[in-house]
Homo-oligomer: A and B are copies of this chain.
Amino acid sequence: MLTYKAPVADINFLLKDVFGYYSHYQKFPEFEEATPDLVDAIFQECAKFCENELLPLYQSGDKEGCQFDNGVVTTPKGFKEAYQQYVEGGWQSLSHPVEHGGQGLPPSLGMVKSEMMGTANWSWAMYPGLSHGAMNTVETHGTKEQKELYLTRLTEGTWTGTMCLTEPQCGTDLGQVKTKAIPNGDGTYNITGTKIFISAGEHDLTENIIHIVLARLPDAPAGTRGISLFIVPKIQTDQQGNLGEANNVTCGSIEDKMGIKASATAVLNFDNAKGVLIGPENKGLECMFTFMNTARIGTALQGVCSAELAYQNSLIYAKERLSMRSLTGKKNPEQVADPIIVHPDVRKMLMTQKAISEGGRAMIYYAAKLVDEIEMAKTQEEREQADERLGFITPILKAFLTELGLESANHGLQIFGGHGYIKEWGMEQIVRDARISTLYEGTTGIQALDLLGRKILLTRGKSLNNFTKEVLLFCKDKSVLSKNPHKRQMNKFIWPLSKAVANWQQYSLRIALKAKKNRDIVGSASVDYLMYSGYIVMGYFWAQMAQSAYEKLATDVENRDFYRAKIKTAEFYFNRMLPRTKSHAKTMMEDPKTLMQLDQELLSFL
């Protein structure tokens, strides 16, 4: 049976001490209610719900899975009740605008909520989670009527939403979408086609499901420029939302998957299903991608959730399980053996997990602040600036954190030894559940192309420069003694970080020059480049956390142990994880030749 306690101390440290979230909230009158007291109360309630309601359904949900019977999907026992509690608690509306029934709290708080819920039960959290994409789409691109009809109910949580992109022949390459939309002349369209991998595409949690569907109008241009976006409800309604006839959307089956088994992944057959256009004709991809960054950060979060859940449980086990003696002498002489936490390699795995979950959380909260800023921007310029920063770090967060979340989950399993492989303990489930995260919302390879191709080369390094400027400013600031009484202690972080950033800029430039001669280097360097970048970005946040911890050590005597632990974890990170950049740096600079020179036909001789 797995354990989960919401890491409220760490969350508060980030919000208050590292990122100054409360002064950030005060900048926006809309967020004036987000005071420390209210937020604390919310976190307490949220933690209780996650620990008491969601976590107990985590393993049982996996065991039962979703049941499919003739188009009807039944979620595992307890899922529906938990969802009702969630709706009654107003959790879905937490960070959505007041005018459609939301509570108007900042998106960043929604991210903290999602983290807690996602850690306690990722599969369950996907049902309300998927709604956010639909809500954002309707809010930004919908008409007044569409908002009144759909958005209010999605915000309440009485209906959920989906995003229907993938088809059997295409996932990443959406230009291949074949689903058709034929206008009926009355403002409605008949949608026909098959969508697959639709998370929360069918379930028994709510009375209706609102599908946001990519489809082609007649005579639309080929490829990505001919795709429009439609709202297609599972059950047709009148404008007041009264349920009418079922629409012609049927769930053909649900997938039997490696993990996230309690999350229904539907095949949806649209057979002249009634829908309405949302956003301009043929601009469906642009509309859908308005929220690509937030959706991807929502998936990056899974890396932190997997890492945290695995860490908490392997830590408990490592303190309890007795095996062998410490190489430096018995630590537990009255017992038959020492707890495995005394063994340096077990320690290394635990510290790696800790560094991933805390470092990853910092990266997510940094991004969440940018999401607040985008949402609340007063000017187009402000919005664009924040959006550019968010766009730059999004692929890094998505790919790097999900890869590291999977690593942490695997360390967790490994710490349990053979027991980690047995379902009962729950550790293998974390690995199976985490494994999807490097695939959906754009694979690691796709994120890496986005980073190197679009965010670096296409902007001629501008986004990178903006980010590195911020890091170097931090480094400069913290290494000036008059400004920073902790300068001497911070040097161990500031020096390697400054050096890493300088290398990052240089390597990026060199790759850009090489790419002019051979485009294949963009693909051959990309994943190494992304992971390389990720370790530096995480290093920046570890340095920030260390700085804040040094500052608090002096004033917050009660919690000194917390700050000391933070600093020592930062030391671990710089000592043991940042050096992983070395191999990535070496291989990303290599010529693509050794990848590409072998003819396809010569790849096997069977």
Contact = CB atoms under 8 A, between A and B. Distances in A.
Contact of A586 (B435, B582, B596): B582
A112 to B, nearest CB: 16
Nearest to A429: B258
A440 interface: yes
Nearest to A420: B439
A330 to B, nearest CB: 13
B600 A341 contact: yes
Interface in A515-540: 518-524, 526-527
A575 interface: yes
A372 interface: no
Given A166-B418, A582-B582, A327 B519 contact: yes
Contacts of A510: none
Contact of A176 (B257, B337, B586): B337
A107 B561 CA distance: 58
Given A257-B421, A323-B172, A324-B172, A595 B351 contact: yes
A579 B589 CA distance: 11
Interface residues of A, number: 105
A346 interface: yes
A322 B580 CA distance: 33
Contacts of A524: 344-345, 347-348
B443 A414 contact: yes
Contact of A348 (B173, B561, B595): B595
A568 B518 CA distance: 20
Given A350-B603, A579-B583, A597-B568, A444 B414 contact: yes
Interface string A471-484: 00000000000000
B431 A258 contact: yes
Contacts of A319: 600
A438 B597 CA distance: 33
Contacts of A571: 594, 597
A315 interface: yes
A291 interface: no
A576 interface: yes
Contacts of A420: 439
A520 B439 contact: no
Contacts of A579: 583, 586-587
A602 interface: yes
A48 interface: no
A432 B319 CA distance: 27
Given A343-B523, A344-B520, A312 B417 contact: no
Contacts of A462: none
A445 interface: yes
Contacts of A9: 605-606
A98 interface: no
A203 to B, nearest CB: 19
B598 A197 contact: no
A423 B258 contact: yes
Nearest to A13: B605
A231 B173 CA distance: 60
A243 interface: no
Contacts of A296: none
A565 interface: yes
A592 B328 CA distance: 12
Pairs of residues from A and B, 4 with the lowest C-beta to C-beta distance, nearest first: A344-B523, A258-B428, A5-B606, A344-B524
Given A344-B592, A345-B448, 12 more contacts: A6-B606, A173-B323, A257-B422, A258-B431, A312-B606, A347-B595, A428-B435, A575-B590, A576-B590, A576-B595, A583-B583, A583-B584
17 contacts: A5-B606, A7-B605, A9-B605, A176-B336, A176-B337, A258-B428, A319-B600, A347-B524, A348-B595, A413-B435, A432-B432, A561-B601, A561-B605, A562-B602, A575-B591, A576-B587, A576-B595
Interface of A: 5-10, 166, 169-173, 175-176, 197, 255-259, 311-312, 315, 319, 322-324, 327-328, 336-337, 341, 343-348, 350-351, 354, 413-414, 417-418, 420-424, 428, 431-432, 435-436, 438-440, 443-445, 448-449, 518-524, 526-527, 561-562, 564-565, 568-569, 571-572, 575-576, 579-584, 586-587, 590-592, 594-598, 600-606
